[in-house]
Amino acid sequence: MSKKAIQQKKKHDQHKSDAQDKKDVAAIKKELDEHPLPDFELQVGEDVTNEILNGDVQVRWCITDDLIDVLNTNNIVDPHILIISTPTRSRGEMSRQLLPVTQLKTFVRCTKAGAVNIHAWIIDGEGGRKNLRRKYMRKVDGNYSTDMIDYSGDAFSLTGSDVAKYTKSEVIIPAGVFGKEPGPKMKKFVNLWHSSKVVDECNYRQRKIIAFTLKWEAMIIFTLISLAFRLIWATILVGAGFRKNVNWSYIPKIFYWDIPDCFQSRYNSWWDNDYIVTLKMKDSNGMSFTRRFVAFIPLVPLVQFVLFVIIFFCSSNWMIADDVILLLNTLMVLTSISIVLDVLVTIFIWGINTSLWDWMSKQFGKFYAMLQLHNGLGIRIVNGIGTLCGIALVGLTMYLFWDKVQYILMFIGLLMVALGVMYGSLLIFYKMFTIDEAHNNINDVRELLCNDCDTAVKQGEPRVQPFPSRQRRIKLLYLETKNKMCKPMQQ
């Protein structure tokens, strides 16, 4: 083939390729006209591959110039993005976050494998961040106070609210992206005394470190104290006449049965007792009623006897005998006071049902009526005397204990200064940790814009711009590091 023929063939192939490109571009533009790209879009997964390698899924977002114009026209101030992850066709929230829009990236927790919806709303922050968090992040009885998802798993239509834009992304969470579940015995030991579940591998490692450094020593002490407490409480219940409430076989099994399992109520009421002392009495109308002497149960004299025996045998044979004797004498006085109070309460109950009580009540009514004369002059005098006595008491206390009071005032002053310094430090750290209102401007962060080249997007290029390193604050560095080191547990 001649050189001229070769050149003609190359030109023919080039023209054919250009014609095909024009047809492809025309087809893409026609498809975009029929199905335009969204003005608010989420990118879920790794930056390049969109692959999901962790239950804490990376989520990026972008908006178009047209949407920015709409937000500016509607005077949207300090816009935030609210992100919620739920299983498909379910309203059960796995996580919820509220972030400044210009943060550009976060990691959304998914705790179940399978089809997941990631919902996102752009919200007006005109009312202030404190009000935003109170409205969308406050919990009541363990649930968020503001519902965003209906029972079918779709977002509510919030027309007229501070929601400016909504979008959703459907993804599939693989089963192997969650943390490895520990064995049942190790899991029980590590989670012992923790009220909440393990949320991720880092949380499990923290509990494991505590378990193998501090918990086993505390467990021995806890076992001895718990066993002693159960035995003492069982003795008290039996001595108080509630022997049926004690499950003796459960008491030594500290980590298998809880305290409520060891002591279950098998009596109809407190008065349904094995040997409580009662007394039949009559009220002023001649109606009979029963008065029970709670302090006269056999346990009280038993306690008095045990304390007396301890004092008798330890008074001269112990290094701290004086302190022990003082403590036990105090306990004996307290139990004696309980008996005296019980008797006094009985006398009082008997007294209010006699004519003497009625007479005293009438005399008090007359005295109170005298105080109310002359527009309550007597009551004002009594209040004045009480106020003066209170002021005098405070002044006397200040005078007698001024040396101690000034140290207390100095401590309060130093505490207030320390709290002020801590508050200032938290404000500085907060500015480093997140994006404040002044820098949350959608017109300044160009990386927030979606890729405007529609044909390039249709040909496989991502719409979300590469993440700028200058946007990586302490919070994102922490989240990126944690995402590499820990995986959430599947719930």
pTM for this one?
0.62
Residues of the chain with pLDDT under 70: 1-35, 158-160, 239-240, 269-271, 273-286, 289-305, 307-325, 327-328, 335, 342, 345-347, 349-355, 454-460, 470-472
The whole-number pLDDT of residue 403 equals 78
User: How would DSSP label each residue in 14-70?
Assistant: HHHHHHHHHHHHHHHHHHHHHSPPPSEEEEES-TTT----SSEEEEEEEE-HHHHHH
Q: What is the rounded distance in angstroms from the CA atom of residue 447 to the CA atom of residue 470?
A: 11
The whole-number pLDDT of residue 74 equals 87
The whole-number pLDDT of residue 170 equals 93
The whole-number pLDDT of residue 396 equals 85
- 78 to 63, 234, 381, 444, 458: CA distances (angstroms): 15, 62, 59, 13, 32
The whole-number pLDDT of residue 108 equals 94
Closest CA to 47 of 474, 469, 475: 469
The whole-number pLDDT of residue 401 equals 80
pLDDT in tens, 243-264: 788 888 888 888 788 888 888 8
The whole-number pLDDT of residue 116 equals 94
The whole-number pLDDT of residue 126 equals 86
Return the domain boundaries, the chain.
Answer: 1-29, 40-181+435-485, 285-353
CATH number assigned to the domain covering 40-181+435-485:
2.60.40.10
pLDDT in tens, 448-466: 888 877 656 666 677 888 7
DSSP 8-state class, residue 84: E
The whole-number pLDDT of residue 197 equals 85
